[in-house]
Structure 1
């Protein structure tokens, strides 16, 4: 499900490799969280999180998730929140190398990284949860507001909007664009430049700058609103998700 690729300077690339679209099932979420948590003790001074060319991650594996009972659905979302918390509180800087499309959960994960490099061109990114019948929990909305501002976040989240790479860059949802085959290279270069700075000063300043994020995401044990699980099993959400699965099967 993952490939761990070393780069010079103690940079570890964690590449999602769950074919065909890096959809987040429980196994991928768990493996990714463990890799991020373990990376510093394995010698990583920085992390690049990447996907396949053309597809960073298609988000949550809805067909797998909808088969779970209430306890299983809660287990998945608790694990997903723990993954986001692990990125948010990582002791080393992280870069999201957004190597292609990044809807929903793929976009969510990128919010918690220090920096985002996205492939330019036809690729789109956004938190389109509303379009698939899911609300966006407050802690994730907070992470989105932190990056693009309160009003911009509201407009994007309420509409479940997907935007192309150029617009994402213009509004600050991603920090820079690169050719799809250069996204990882550019992510490594940015991280390498950061790691050349005086280490203690950089990491201390980083910790101060991210204190608001870690205050919210430092402990995800009770971060998920139980109402979100109630809504997941509600008629509207179930109907929309089943229609989505039917469309996916017909392709």
Structure 2
């Protein structure tokens, strides 16, 4: 176990299960744990990784925690930790499958979009980048993740409105690749990886590296300006939207 992450071995495949109740909110410790767990799994010889969660795969950044941070440096460090977790998944030298076992808004959706393949629980679960609904602006590097999944026009609509879509629509528009019964999501993620690992390894990994080069480039620190994001975070409209969100969560 690493910082609120359970590590479960399935032969050559390692499942990294987010385990920070109740909603796997992404605070800096969990984000650092994700990056460390991906690295540890690869170092230990894993040929594939499954990233899973609970009834909420991840509710995204831990906004109540972020609102307690008083300095620009602390806010910037928290966002950097989150982006480092996303980069660790995107840059993993072995395939990573998101087993989206429940709701996956905002940061949870970002982590899923960094994976090679996404299996989502069927039913009334929702996924998407809803930043605008709480007064945030997703940087271009994050927006690129949505564009590469659903296309530029549809991504623009989803990003501007901050819409969260249910699992059936997510499959229809290409935001996820497969649906499964909630109890079968992890098993289906493992099955997809098993099929991929049965193919000739070197050609698969070389092809994968080429296909995902744009993903790694989009998340490069040179393409995401943390100072600009912190400025936007401190904007009065953004702070009002975030505090309204926390008030709703409290109810």
TM-score by length of 1: 0.96
Pairwise CA distance, 1:83: 1.1
* Aligned-pair CA distance for 1:147: 0.9
Stretches of structure 1 lacking an aligned partner (at least 5 in a row): none
Counterpart of 1:34? 36
Indicate whether 1:65 and 2:66 are aligned. yes
Q: State the 4+ residue runs in structure 1 displaced beyond 6 angstroms.
A: none
Q: Residue 81 of structure 1 contacts residue 224 of structure 1 at CA under 8 Å; is this kept in 2?
A: no
Deviations 1:200-220 (A, max 9, x none): 011111111112222333x43
Q: Which residue of 1 aligns with 2:78?
A: 76
Distance (whole Å) between structure 2 residues aligned to residue 224 and residue 190 of structure 1:
35
Unaligned runs of 5+ in 2: none
RMSD over equivalenced CA pairs, Å: 1.1
Identify the residue that residue 230 of structure 1 maps to in structure 2. 231
The answer to whether the 8 A contact 1:57-1:106 is kept is: yes
Cα distance in 1 between the residues matched to 2:18 and 2:225? 25
Structure 1 residue 249: Cα displacement: 1.5
Alpha-carbon distance in 1 for matches of 2:165, 2:138: 17
Superposition pairs for residues 1-251 of structure 1, below 5 Å?
1-8=4-11, 10-52=12-54, 54-68=55-69, 69-217=71-219, 219-220=220-221, 223-250=224-251
How many residue pairs get aligned? The number is 247
| Cα deviation code 1:114-167 (max 9, x no counterpart) | 000000011010100111111111000011111111001000000000000000
Distance in 1 between residues matched to 2:232 and 2:218, nearest whole Å: 23
Report the Cα offset of residue 42 of structure 1. 1.1
What is the CA distance between 1:80 and its match in structure 2?
1.0
Q: TM-score normalized by structure 2?
A: 0.96
CA drift of 1:37 comes to 1.9
